[in-house]
Amino acid sequence: MKSQPNKKRANPIPTEKRGLSVQNVWPSLTGIRGLAALWVLLLHAYLMAGKAGDMPAPIEWLMAMGGTGVDVFFTLSAFLLAMPFAEAARRKEAFPNLFSYARKRFFRIIPAYYFQIIFVLVLALLGVGAGMPWSAPTPGGVFAHSVLWINAWPLVPAYVPTWWTLPVEFGFYMLLPWLAIFLTDRRWYWLLLGIALSLLYRHVLMQSGLTRAEEVYWVDHLPGRLFQFLIGMLAAFFFVRFRFHDRLPKERPRNLMVFFSTIVLLSLPSLGWLQGSDAYHGAPTTQPVLAYWHLYASVCIAIMLLAIASGKNLLDSILQSSVLQWLGRISYGVYLWHYPVMVIVRENMGGIDAARSQFIAFFVVSFVVSITLAFLSWHWLEAPILRRAGSSSGL
């Protein structure tokens, strides 16, 4: 066949788009989501059993800092959700369809959450979980929960304590399309201002003479945790920017990034020595260094996410294991179901003393029941709804 030197190539790739890949799905990040869900579950098992002793110190250290899983969820969520907006800004194209975005976010969170509200109201009618916040529901409280007015003002404590993250996460969903205008080379600095203002809000509240309950509830509400989402957005911006210019870290540098960010993250509780405690896990405080604990955690997580998304790394074999991939897909259900399950299991075992003395049995039963319910929730409720909403992702 003769060559045709004068024939132009069809559909040439514009120069400004050549540095971007269409891949925005990373199995290792799904594994991180599964690991974070497991980490939170370990924390609550540890606390519900009265900080079960008689376990190796490294295991107890990891369980006690399981709340860091929330830092992972917030930063990872922002990283993944900001990615399409950052890529559109880099290509100088229109942002993703906001109606489609809102529909997917709504159906990802609300149906399974509403189902669990009904579940805990049934528990209240049956007298299960006496003393838990859900045991004495009121019409006003149910309405507040239905619109995610949790831990806000006026104060409505969450029926299930883990639900406090839902209004924080959903609030970010609503803010993201507005914040996305700063995902450009000329505007990304404004996200740093947002981080500073979020931290300032936390500082002002801690100096306002609030009760301890108000400090715990309000400091970690929006805008008090917004800085973690903004850090995740910045990680997405720089990832897209580096990929566009073909400057993503190579294998050796990204392995070093993953290694050192992981070591620093796992070492953060040791800062507790600054206030005379063995470990510190991020509770609101006025101690000037510890007040920024979640900032340190999010920076470590953002570095880790950027490195892992950049290519093959030393954690891939763990994060891409079938167990963590499965847990990552059903992680929202694990988050929703594990706490009420643990309350029920503990009651049936005879209370906190029984859970402490038989901790392995308490944990295994709670884990198996929680992930079973999470799988059923994913298979019969979440996945079908997400498919109808046009989303194939577990995020």
Q: 229 and 210: one domain?
A: yes
Q: 310 and 174: one domain?
A: yes
Residue 90 lies in a domain: no
Q: 30 and 124: one domain?
A: no
Q: 214 and 146: one domain?
A: yes
Which H helix or E strand runs over 47? helix 27-48
Supply the range of the domain harboring residue 167: 95-315
- The residue out of 315, 336, 367 marking a domain boundary is 315
Over its length of 395 residues, how does the chain's per-residue pLDDT go in tens digits? Answer: 444 444 443 333 343 444 444 456 799 999 999 999 999 999 999 999 998 767 888 899 999 999 999 999 999 999 999 999 999 999 999 999 999 999 999 999 999 999 999 999 999 999 998 889 999 999 999 999 999 999 988 888 999 999 999 999 999 999 999 999 999 999 999 999 999 999 999 999 999 999 998 999 999 999 999 999 999 999 999 999 999 999 999 999 999 999 999 999 999 999 999 988 778 999 999 999 999 999 999 999 999 999 999 999 999 999 999 999 999 999 999 999 999 999 999 999 999 999 999 999 999 999 999 999 999 999 999 999 999 887 655 56
- Three-state secondary structure call for residue 343: helix
- The runs of H, that is alpha helices, within the chain are 27-48, 57-64, 68-91, 98-126, 139-146, 165-179, 189-206, 212-219, 226-244, 251-267, 293-309, 316-319, 322-329, 331-349, 352-357, 359-377, 383-389
Residue 19 lies in a domain: no
Name residues whose C-beta falls within 8 Å of residue 82's C-beta, 6 or more positions apart in sequence.
176, 180, 183, 232, 233, 236, 237
- The residue out of 297, 315, 333 marking a domain boundary is 315
pLDDT of residue 125: 95
Q: 296 and 365: one domain?
A: no
Q: 356 and 336: one domain?
A: yes
Q: Tell me if the pTM is above 0.85.
A: yes
pLDDT of residue 24: 60
pLDDT of residue 56: 87
Residue 12 lies in a domain: no
Among 253, 359, 355, residue whose Cα is nearest residue 312: 253
How far apart (Å, rounded) are the C-alpha atoms in residues 23 and 26?
8
Q: 151 and 40: one domain?
A: no
Q: 174 and 298: one domain?
A: yes
Residue 361 lies in a domain: yes
pLDDT of residue 393: 57
Q: 249 and 205: one domain?
A: yes
Residue 152 lies in a domain: yes
What is the number of domains present in the chain?
A: 2
Residue 1 lies in a domain: no
- The residue out of 271, 297, 315 marking a domain boundary is 315
Name residues whose C-beta falls within 8 Å of residue 118's C-beta, 6 or more positions apart in sequence.
none
Residue 395 lies in a domain: no
pLDDT of residue 11: 37
